[in-house]
Amino acid sequence: MTTADADGLTVAPLTRPIDATVRPPGSKSLTNRALVCAALAEGRSVLDGALFADDTAAMAGALRALGAVVGEDEAKGRMEVLGTGGALNPGPVSVDVRLSGTTSRFLLPVVALGEGRYRVDGGPPLRARPMGPVLDGIRALGAAVVEEDEPGHLPVTIVAPGGLVGGEVRVAGDTSSQFLSGLLLAAPYAAGGVDLSLTTGLVSRPYVTLTAAVMKAFAVTVVEDEAGGFHVPAGHYWACEYPIEPDASAASYFLAAAAIAGGRVTIAGLGSETLQGDARFADVLADMGASVTRTDDSTTVAMDGPLRGLGDVDMSDLPDMAQTLAVVATFADRPTRVRGVGFIRGHETDRIAAVVRELRRCGIDASEEDDGFVVRPGEPRPARIETYDDHRMAMSFALLGLRAAGITIADPDCVAKTFPAYWRELDALRSPGEPARAL
């Protein structure tokens, strides 16, 4: 039973191993990338299996302000988009990206394709997140950027010249791959095409691969050279019917639940051919002792033995899984050091400091490092987990409560950013003989 009150939402421990099949909502990463391509495309696109959550609502609303027609049928999981053909509403236009990092970093280059002044702003937590590399890329493409407060942060006004010339752009990739993805998504509409090269290493590379795959579905091919640069020819997106598979990041919480509580969880609709990098979290669980089975359209994690600590693991390509791994590692047989994720300090919250602080609140020995953290296993004590307006803190730390009594999640509604039905789906892991949920 999962109960909610003024203190938050308390997760009751499971009394039996899990035996469940789950189909998470559509991928946020795919939905927001496809929305951008469809909004710039010629014609009407249909996105089947789309995610309906705060982040995708932010994207859809911003694209409407720019001239796209976005129709939504949440009951069918479908969005229909009548694209602009690259002809955006001229400025002045105000674009509210709310709390969505993908919306802000994808649309800043897109509005530079228009003509006039486009003011882009979001909520206070998003204003704290860095935007410098994508703003530098916009300047290199020929648009002006007016920063209103702290340099490299929202709010900003893009003064678009009525068409970008294109050319060579150098961008840093060590803070977020979203900067590169945003520039790639807008690049086909630059008159001379765009050549993008990296000035640093690239974190979260699978997300860039995902961007290129979505662009290809809308008829634009990204070419990566041997030196790691990217060329996007001048062209146009063309409307299409685009199927969106379940979100691999959302799936990770249910796979982790099987590893923590024992039993089996199958994720329907997420199979061996997915390009979502976070689907590889199942392999991390396999290294910890779980059994992983993949088919063309499903992934199953089963656990019937002890969890093994990983010792040392590089999560730079799976940064959104770091918090989930921290919770799983709490129940392992030896410490786990997570490294390569220093850049997640600049996500919705400082996800390294927050993970360590909340594990310690539960009595777990954890420590920060420059690029990650160390978790030393133990038995969690009852605690009220602060979530810092971070959906992934809420969803990952709730998993502690599947095995430890007294875990309460503060501000549980923050999961609406990407997974509004999370608490209902988490409670559905309980077998028929367990107490019914109370939400």
* The two three-digit tokens of residue 168, written as one number: 């060579």
Consecutive H or E run containing 96: strand 93-98
Q: Which residue has the tokens 């105000």?
A: 94
Quick one: 27 exposed, middle or buried, by C-beta within 10 A (0-12, 13-18, 19+)?
A: buried
Residues serving a catalytic function are: 320
- In the numeric block, which tokens belong to residue 275? 């390009």
CA distance 428 to 431: 8
pLDDT of residue 439: 32
The pTM assigned to this predicted structure is: 0.94
Instruction: Name residues of the chain where pLDDT drops below 70.
Output: 1-6, 432-439
Report how far apart, in Å, the C-alpha atoms of 352 and of each of 40, 349, 382 are: 37, 9, 21
DSSP, residue by residue, 41-87: SBSEEEEET---SHHHHHHHHHHHHTT-EEEEEGGGTEEEEE--TT-
For the stretch 231-289, pLDDT in tens is: 999 999 999 999 999 999 999 999 999 999 999 999 999 999 999 999 999 999 999 99
How far is the CA of 280 from the CAs of 272, 299, 393, in angstroms? 10, 10, 20
- Strand-pair partners of 239: none
Q: Is there a contact between 68 and 81 (Cβ–Cβ < 8 Å)? A: yes
CB 148 within 8 A of CB 159: no
pLDDT for 249: 97
What's the DSSP call for residue 117? E
Rounded CA-CA distance 111/162 in Å is 10
What sign for the dihedral angle of Cα 45, 206, 251, 348? negative
Element (H, E) at 325: helix 322-329
Q: How many helices (H) and strands (E) does the chain have?
A: 13, 24
Torsion of CA 381, 308, 372, 24, to 10 degrees: -80
Number of Cβ within 10 Å of residue 226's Cβ equals 5
* Residue 15: how many other CB atoms lie within 10 Å: 11
